[in-house]
Amino acid sequence: MSKKLWEKGITTDEFIEKFTVGRDKEFDVQLAKFDVQGTLAHIEMLQQVGLLTEDEFLKLSNELNRILLEVIEPQLFEIEDGVEDVHSQIELMLVRSLGDIGKKVHAGRSRNDQVLVDLKLFLRSELFTLVSLVKKLFDTLLLRSEENKHVLVPGYTHTQAAMPSSFGIWFATYAESLVDDLVLMQSVHTIVNRNPLGSAAGYGSSFPLDRELTTNLLNFDSPAVNVGYAQMGRGKTEQFFAFGLAAMAGTLNKLASDICLYNSQNFGFIKLPDELTTGSSIMPHKKNPDVFELIRAKTNTMLALPNSISMLMSNLTSGYHRDFQILKEQLFPAIEEMKSCLEMTEYAISKVEVHNEILNDPKYDLIFSVEAVNQLVLDGIPFRDAYLSVAKQIEEGTFTPPKTVKHTHLGSIGNLGNEMIRERMESVYNSF
């Protein structure tokens, strides 16, 4: 039997075949479960429209469910030598078991929409995993915010100490940032969760396919209606997913950068437990924040991912192109990296130790200057006059910092609004 879905008795040069297959087999193993699920929906539809008998459908369904149990455990499943991809492998397994009946599963389907449905199901599954990991990190950040809401820390503008802030604000800053990241992923989910099956090679089929049925069987929100646009979803879906990853990466990147800075001896705002640090081969005193430096580096790479995918797609006409094969090589490893970064960040944040007396150091006295100005304004002095008065005290060295901070408005030191942030997260999270 042919081991390629497109093979017609013509032998491809082995050198060419090795180049064109690339790393497909490596990444296709991750799609095996979803390929079987897509095929199960497809054959049920074929039986409903009269292209399979009930007996053929039952035999195919039973064998596909047996294969599904096999592919759920990746160590039990492999794409054999000489077999081009996961789609060919599963069809080969069906034919070995069922003979000619196995050859009927591809009616009304192209490898194009087969790949598309596999990718959509895979990305939907990965998206749910990512969302769960984001929620876990969010919960830890808000917990740390509440634990440290009264602990003051300098806030910075232009990398200079500017005004009093708090660890309550700092932890919750990143928690709320994650909410917006999930809002973006909501849109990604909407785009991912549309059914391309039945678009074939992008031009439909003369078979009376029931695309609404496969949409319902695979729990998609709706079909990708136009068959040409369904095919244009290849690349565009990955591009939008990459933007979602980049948003998360931006949040984690800034958090990691803060921690590397705050952990340094010059700042000393936080301390990383010994088990979260590494040492130096020459300097006995060193305890390096390697975990957060690596998170910073990995997320920087992810920030470039949307551009990489956009450039891959930038000069392609409508219809299928083999260029799309490279998308898996770009996106799949990035998804794994993001899951790892989210897990590691959550674990490390839960163990970060906060220093309580940071603002007792006289070098931070001037960050209370705005508090002094505001107090004069509350006493009836016009703001500009109050500003000049405090500026003169600073210039003359007579400024005495008022170290009692009275911030009461929503989102400030004394009124974090964490419950509002949590409610918004719950609303977004429950929408998936």
pLDDT at 1: 44
Q: For residues 155 and 200, give the distance between their C-alpha atoms in angstroms, rounded to a whole number.
A: 56
Q: What is the pTM of this model?
A: 0.91
- Return d(Cα 61, Cα 104) in angstroms, integer: 12
Q: What pLDDT does 8 receive? A: 53
Spatial neighbors of 174 by CB under 8 A, at least 6 apart, are 141, 251, 254, 255
Please name the CATH architecture into which domain 14-107 falls.
Answer: Orthogonal Bundle (1.10)
Helix, strand counts (H, E) of the chain: 15, 6
Cβ pair 429, 131 in contact under 8 A: yes
Mapped onto helix, strand or coil, the DSSP state of residue 266 is coil
Stretches in the chain below the pLDDT threshold 50: 1-2, 6, 280
- pLDDT at residue 170 in the model: 98
Multiple choice CATH, 112-151+166-206+224-360, 2.60.40.2470, 3.40.50.620, 1.20.200.10, 3.90.1710.10: 1.20.200.10
Annotate 381-392 with b (16+ C-beta within 10 A) or e (fewer): eeeeebbeebee
Strand partners, 278: 288
Question: What pLDDT, on the 0 to 100 scale, is given for residue 23?
Answer: 72
Per-residue pLDDT tens over the stretch 54-112: 999 999 999 999 999 999 876 778 889 888 889 999 999 999 999 999 999 999 999 99
Predicted local distance difference test score (pLDDT) of residue 60: 98
Q: Which residue type does 260 have?
A: C
- Alpha helices (H) along 49-110: 54-72, 86-98
Pinpoint the residues of the chain covered by CATH 1.20.200.10.
112-151+166-206+224-360
User: Looking at the chain, which residues constitute the CATH 1.10.275.10 domain(s)?
Assistant: 14-107
- Per-residue model confidence as pLDDT tens digits over 225-241: 999 999 999 999 999 99
Task: Tell me 412's DSSP state.
Answer: B
